[in-house]
Amino acid sequence: MNVAVRTAPTAQQGSEHFDVLIVGAGISGIGSAYHLTTQLPGTSFVILETQESFGGTWLTHRYPGIRSDSDLYTFGYRFKPWVGPPIATAEEILSYMKEVIDENDIEEHIRYRHKISSASWSSETNLWTVEAVRTDTGEKKTFTANFLWMCQGYYRHSEGYMPEWKNMDKFKGRIVHPQTWPDDLDLTNKKVIVIGSGATAATLIPAIAGECARVTMVQRSPTYFRLGRNAIDIADTLRQLQVNEEWIHEIVRRKILFEQDAFTKRCIAEPEKVKKELISQITAVVGPDYDVATHFTPKYRPWRQRIAFVPDADLFEGVKSGKATVVTDEIECFTEKGLQLKSGKTLEADVIVTATGFNLCALGDIGFVIDGKPLDFADTVTYRGMMFTGIPNMVWVFGYFRASWTLRVDLVGDFVCRLLAHMKEKGARRVEVKLRPEDHNMPLLPWLDPENFNPGYMMRSQHMWPRRGNKPEWQHSQDYWAEKDEIPAINIDDAAFVYR
Ligand SMILES: Cc1cc2nc3c(=O)[nH]c(=O)nc-3n(C[C@H](O)[C@H](O)[C@H](O)COP(=O)(O)OP(=O)(O)OC[C@H]3O[C@@H](n4cnc5c(N)ncnc54)[C@H](O)[C@@H]3O)c2cc1C
């Protein structure tokens, strides 16, 4: 593939052609565009984005208090220093992304309100044909591209996951999902129930506790949290010493990553000890008389599900002050006035917020077709969670759950640029991954190992995802500390890569 060519003679009439087509203008899409412009200048590319602006997750979620649950030194890109407090609001993340877009002239490459409906690969032309619909005019647009860089995230942005509870329609108040937070919702003096115990509930509750009459968190089972100041001492000290921000960014990233690695290893080596430490942080805030055993003691091993960071313990300060209440129980059904719980208890509410998570969606709800045959993504085997057998010229950025997602945006960015440069050098127009003869007897397993990481939203959709093998190169290990060395060292001339 000649990555500098702007028009392809084989592209369809009436379509626009690009060397690379990036799907999505979230933190992955913008980071990928940065790597492409800086590492392979002259490559023609377009970013297609359904929404009216960039940001992805940070644009979609507009509920009160929306903030990151991991630090921005590592959730930020490696190339753009983060200069604010480590836990950031959606607005702060969007301003950071805007600076990256402006500083690197990325805006001119983004087409907003373009929802991609299909992507078809032709082995005859070695091109992708991508169909998009303009969400404002309904106009259909066709693009062709040599390479697809999938940065569409992992969940459906248009609607959150809402379980079906009995009698939901009987409830006289309002039911709201945080992913589609209504602009007109006024919670002043309202009785609010928040269903869920994850990062969203933990963020939302302290943000609304001051204005509503009462907020109750209803959880089936507790979740782990880490508490701490929303500040990083070493960053503050280095700033006092007038060390430049590039250095501070790098030093703080290394410190955080080093500590996270140690923490992850401890969670596996001594889970009971870590569990006690995490819970005792909470007891120290809510006090010894609070029933921490029932409400804040999870049943699973730490790190089998994402652990949200709660800055300044705000959720637990709210519980201690009585502004927020926690109920650990199961929902029997909705009633006209609120909830009936399995224990027999009833709760009244004017508004019920279902902080129940996402609808996972593989490949952005795009219908993929390979040489005329619809693709079943679950039939493929993944190469390090980036490439997939049977899908040529395509890479997906699927980040980390245990470390910041964006760490992988940078690693995959380097990999894709290296791969594209290699194709140009070889004069290849097509690359795909293929199981080697020695891989043929390898067991093929579900995408995630539930022993390792098992949040409900991933478990309920495992059947939709590609399979993994039992060798490091045929799985997404979710291990940044191994991949930071392994991905740059991938031998792209290995027999697993087939070029034509
Ligand atoms: C509330 C919340 C808080 C989070 N906090 C953290 C955190 O602190 N740290 C962390 O590491 N992770 C966090 N995550 C996970 C988070 O989703 C990722 O870290 C990251 O933002 C994902 O970025 P992305 O660009 O890959 O995908 P997304 O942010 O999901 O963006 C994908 C973009 O692609 C677009 N798109 C999708 N399909 C199509 C299509 N068919 N056509 C055109 N465009 C399409 C979407 O509209 C969207 O703009 C959080 C998630 C949520 C929901």
Q: Write the residue with the smallest CA distance to atom 21 of ligand 1.
A: 57
Residues 345 and 403 in one domain: no
Residues 307 and 368 in one domain: no
Which residue, chain included where needed, has tokens 């909705």?
334
Residues 373 and 322 in one domain: no
Q: Of 330, 358, 386, which closes a domain?
A: 358
Q: Give me the percent of the chain exceeding a pLDDT of 70.
A: 97
Residues 22 and 122 in one domain: yes
Q: Which atom of ligand 1 is nearest to the CA of 66?
A: 1
CA dihedral 222, 263, 315, 160 (to 10 degrees): -60
Residues with CB under 6 A from ligand 1: 23-29, 48-51, 56-57, 61, 68-70, 75, 115-116, 151-153, 157, 200, 364-366, 397, 399, 404-405
Q: Tell me which residue of 476, 415, 420, 408 sits closest to 28, measured CA to CA.
A: 408
Which of the 8 DSSP states describes residue 12? P
Which residue, chain included where needed, has tokens 């006035």?
337
Residues 72 and 187 in one domain: no
**Angle 460-300-347 from CA coordinates, rounded to 5°:** 75
pLDDT in tens, 88-122: 999 999 999 999 999 999 999 999 999 999 999 99
- Write out the H or E segment, with its range, that includes residue 166: none
Please tell me the predicted confidence (pLDDT) of residue 11.
Answer: 52
Within-domain flag for 147: yes
pLDDT in tens, 246-292: 999 999 999 999 999 999 999 999 999 999 999 999 999 999 999 99
CATH number at residue 60: 3.50.50.60
Average pLDDT score over residue span 128-132? 98
Average pLDDT score over residue span 165-179? 97
Within-domain flag for 467: yes
Q: Of 358, 384, 400, which closes a domain?
A: 358
- Contact (Cβ atoms closer than 8 angstroms) between residue 72 and residue 84: yes
Residues 73 and 42 in one domain: yes
Q: pLDDT-derived band of residue 306, with 50, 70 and 90 as boundaries?
A: confident
Pairing of strands 387-388, 351-354: unpaired
Please tell me the predicted confidence (pLDDT) of residue 12.
Answer: 65
Domain count, the chain: 2
Which of the 8 DSSP states describes residue 162? -
Q: pLDDT-derived band of residue 207, with 50, 70 and 90 as boundaries?
A: very high
**Which of 57, 61, 177 is the best mutation target for the ligand 1 pocket, counting ligand atoms within 8 Å of the beta carbon and taking the most?**
57
Interval between CA 416 and ligand 1 midpoint (Å): 20
Within-domain flag for 349: yes
CA dihedral 496, 466, 409, 41 (to 10 degrees): 50
Average pLDDT score over residue span 491-497? 98
Q: How many CB atoms lie within 10 A of CB 224?
A: 23
Q: Write the residue with the smallest CA distance to atom 15 of ligand 1.
A: 405
Residues 343 and 354 in one domain: yes
Assign 63 to helix, strand or coil.
coil
Please tell me the predicted confidence (pLDDT) of residue 10.
Answer: 52
Please tell me the predicted confidence (pLDDT) of residue 9.
Answer: 45
Residues 113 and 177 in one domain: no
* Token output for 389: 């057998």
Residues 470 and 413 in one domain: yes
pLDDT in tens, 459-480: 888 888 999 999 999 999 889 9
Q: Which atom of ligand 1 is nearest to the CA of 117?
A: 41
Residues 343 and 376 in one domain: no
Annotate 195-226 with DSSP letters as a single string: E--SHHHHHHHHHHHTTSSEEEEEESS---EE
**Which of 152, 177, 386 is the best mutation target for the ligand 1 pocket, counting ligand atoms within 8 Å of the beta carbon and taking the most?**
152
Beta bridge partners of 433: 497
Residue 115's contacts (CB-CB under 8 Å, 6 or more residues apart) are: 50, 132, 133, 134, 135
Please tell me the predicted confidence (pLDDT) of residue 8.
Answer: 47
The pTM assigned to this predicted structure is 0.95
Within-domain flag for 116: yes
Q: Write the residue with the smallest CA distance to atom 52 of ligand 1.
A: 57
Within-domain flag for 11: no
Annotate 22-81 with DSSP letters as a single string: EE--SHHHHHHHHHHHHHSTT--EEEE-SSSSS-THHHH--STT-B-SS-HHHHS-TTS-
Interval between CA 208 and ligand 1 midpoint (Å): 24
Within-domain flag for 319: yes
Residues 285 and 220 in one domain: yes
- Contact (Cβ atoms closer than 8 angstroms) between residue 460 and residue 452: no
Which of the 8 DSSP states describes residue 137? T
Assign 136 to helix, strand or coil.
coil
Interval between CA 3 and ligand 1 midpoint (Å): 27
* Token output for 249: 């960014």
Assign 342 to helix, strand or coil.
coil
Residues 300 and 433 in one domain: no
Q: Which amino acid is at 324?
A: A
Interval between CA 479 and ligand 1 midpoint (Å): 20
Within-domain flag for 259: yes
Pairing of strands 110-111, 114-122: unpaired
Within-domain flag for 9: no
pLDDT in tens, 355-409: 999 899 989 999 999 999 999 999 999 999 999 999 999 999 999 988 999 999 9
Burial class of residue 344 (count of CB atoms within 10 Å of its CB; 0-12, 13-18, 19+): exposed
* Residue 206 φ/ψ region, left for φ over 0, alpha for ψ in the -120 to 50 degree band, beta for the rest: alpha
Range of the domain at 335: 168-358
Beta bridge partners of 333: 340
Q: Of 334, 358, 382, which closes a domain?
A: 358
Between the two ends of the chain, the Cα-to-Cα distance in Å is 10
